[in-house]
Amino acid sequence: MNEELKELTPKQTVAELDKYIIGQNKAKRAVAIALRNRMRRLKLPEEIRDEIAPKNILMIGPTGVGKTEIARRLAKLSGAPFLKVEATKYTEVGYVGRDVESMIRDLMAVGYTMVKSEMQEKLKEQAEKNTEESLLDLLLPGSNKKKSAASAAAVSAKESSNASAGTQIALPGMSNSVSAEEDKAQNENDMSGTREKFRVMLREGKLEDKMVEVTIAPSMGAPTFEFFAGGSNMEDIESAMSNISNLIMGGAKSKRKNVSVKEAREIIMAEQLDRMVDHDKVTDEAKQRVEQMGIIFIDEIDKVASRSDRGGGPDVSREGVQRDILPIVEGSKVSTKYGVVDTRHILFIAAGAFSVSKPSDLIPEFQGRFPLRVELEALHAEDFKRILLEPKNALTKQYAELLETEGVKIEFLDEAIDRMSFLAADVNSKNENIGARRLHTIMEMLLEDISFNASEMSGETVKIDVSYVDERLKDIVQDQDLSRYIL
């Protein structure tokens, strides 16, 4: 388990989210408490721990206010297996689409990859040493001391066997043998010295472009193939059929390939790490972590809610998705290629704009499994200003860095930032409110000419002021049908 996660308090979680997301303190507090409760639960005795179910969260708010961004940042922060899915990609069993149990299989795959990477990181130092020796073997075949020693031991054993059988060796022949052994020892010393010289050159990066022939072994482990009832994903079926074909044909064969030393290092390193890691241990640890600390973020949940004033048609399928998700959220056992996963203690966070439907349009059982409801607030001009300036990944910083790669410096004056923030809020109020995503369109229109001509403006400094903003966005300011200009 990530040691930093154990020490992460709710206040620290909120502080980290504040670096990237403006406002929405209620939602940040809710996810921070939920994350901390995961750690608190693990410290309890086992009999109490099993009784404590996670308090799932339902985020409600217009598009572009930070629901998905909270999920993305929480994934990086939590250090726990995390999966973000779209509710619209799933269907009720019997309809075309993915079955809802695939989200648990995907989460388990995320957990397996996470644990495997952590274990490989611990073995990286030894793997680097092994990789270096393998590269030297490719560059200087026969120079490996261990292999030479093993060969010499075999020759010595053969001579001892001959002597014990009563073989008589004449003195002249013995002198020739001694001479041959001395020559052999001299050659080995020369090869050893050359190997060490090549080792130094390898570490200094002087051999990166030299071509070598490597053997690419097939991935370790027996081929896996599985079909799940209700699954209609063609990629899964094609993958399973490919694995079955490999199994029937005797498995994948090794391939030889000419690559540079730089590429060979990556190939050999990956093979070394894959060979050194204990895959059974990885599977056990990943399964434990997914069941106890896993988090699934279900976005666009409002799209599978049935409107109360409508009936029949596709709404039947929508309710079917909710019914299929329900047992997974309540707690069930799902078969995966890594084993059976219990979903009782996985934390689910659902989010939706609910602009057309309402949370009450969800089936009652589904509502009951998301007891914590958090409403995210719509963004205003002041929020847009903060979004443009404060986050680590602020749009103004992104565009300034992008254009600086071509030698063009961009300076945004405060009044220009105020003007862009006002325009974003104004357009959102008169048309569809798409939240902070409106700023992306405004910034693209504002800097379109500079981005297009940047290669010819190297060394210039461009100051973005109010007059520049009004000039570039004058059509938006003058025309009342703003939807024609900003989508």
409: tokens are: 């410096």
Quick one: what percent of the chain has pLDDT higher than 70? Answer: 75
Weakest-pLDDT range from 50-54, 135-139, 189-193, 391-395: 189-193
CA atoms within 13 A on the CB side of 198: 21
The pLDDT assigned to 412 comes to 92
Residue whose structure tokens are 């254009």: 403
Residue 209 pLDDT grade (very low, low, confident, very high; cuts 50, 70, 90):
confident
The pLDDT assigned to 177 comes to 54
- Mean per-residue pLDDT, 141-169: 52
Residue 410 pLDDT grade (very low, low, confident, very high; cuts 50, 70, 90):
very high
The pLDDT assigned to 438 comes to 86
Mind giving me the DSSP string for 180-225?
HHHHHHHHHHHHHHHHHHHHHHHHTTTTTT-EEEEEEPPPSS----
251 Cβ neighbours under 8 A, 6+ residues apart: 218, 223
Pairing of strands 372-375, 347-352: unpaired
Q: How far apart are the first and last CA of the chain?
A: 44
Where are any strands of DSSP class E within 25-181? Answer: 57-60, 82-86
For 133, 214, 410, the CA distances from 196, given in Å and listed in that order, are: 11, 21, 52
Residue 222 pLDDT grade (very low, low, confident, very high; cuts 50, 70, 90):
very low
- Residue 250, classed as helix, strand or coil, is coil
pLDDT digits (tens, 9 = 90+) for 320-350: 888 888 999 988 999 988 999 999 999 999 9
30 Cβ neighbours under 8 A, 6+ residues apart: 57, 372, 374
Name residue 348's beta-bridge partners.
296
- Mean per-residue pLDDT, 92-106: 74
Q: Is the pLDDT of residue 98 over 80?
A: no
Q: Is the pLDDT of residue 409 over 80?
A: yes
Instruction: Give the integer Cα–Cα distance in Å for 38 and 8.
Output: 11
- For residues 443 and 152, which has the higher predicted lDDT (pLDDT)? 443
Instruction: Give the integer Cα–Cα distance in Å for 80 and 365.
Output: 27
Instruction: Give the integer Cα–Cα distance in Å for 359 and 141.
Output: 69
Q: Is the pLDDT of residue 158 over 70?
A: no
- Mean per-residue pLDDT, 390-407: 90
Q: Is the pLDDT of residue 93 over 60?
A: no
The pLDDT assigned to 297 comes to 92
Q: Is the pLDDT of residue 96 over 90?
A: no
pLDDT digits (tens, 9 = 90+) for 288-317: 999 988 999 999 898 888 765 555 444 546
Instruction: Give the integer Cα–Cα distance in Å for 382 and 418.
Output: 8
CA-atom Rg of the chain in angstroms = 32
Q: Is the pTM higher than 0.85? A: no
What single-letter amino acid sits at 198? F
Instruction: Give the integer Cα–Cα distance in Å for 262 and 419.
Output: 51
Question: Are the C-beta atoms of 297 and 329 separated by less than 8 Å?
Answer: no
The length of the chain in residues reads 487
Highest mean pLDDT among 58-62, 172-176, 190-194: 58-62
Quick one: what percent of the chain has pLDDT higher than 90? Answer: 24
Q: Is the pLDDT of residue 146 over 80?
A: no
- For residues 145 and 428, which has the higher predicted lDDT (pLDDT)? 428
What single-letter amino acid sits at 280? D
8: tokens are: 């992460």
Handedness of CA 360, 363, 364, 370 (dihedral sign): negative
Q: What is the mean pLDDT of the chain?
A: 79
Pairing of strands 333-336, 339-342: antiparallel
The pLDDT assigned to 185 comes to 56
What single-letter amino acid sits at 364? P
409 Cβ neighbours under 8 A, 6+ residues apart: 400, 403, 460, 461, 462
The pLDDT assigned to 3 comes to 55
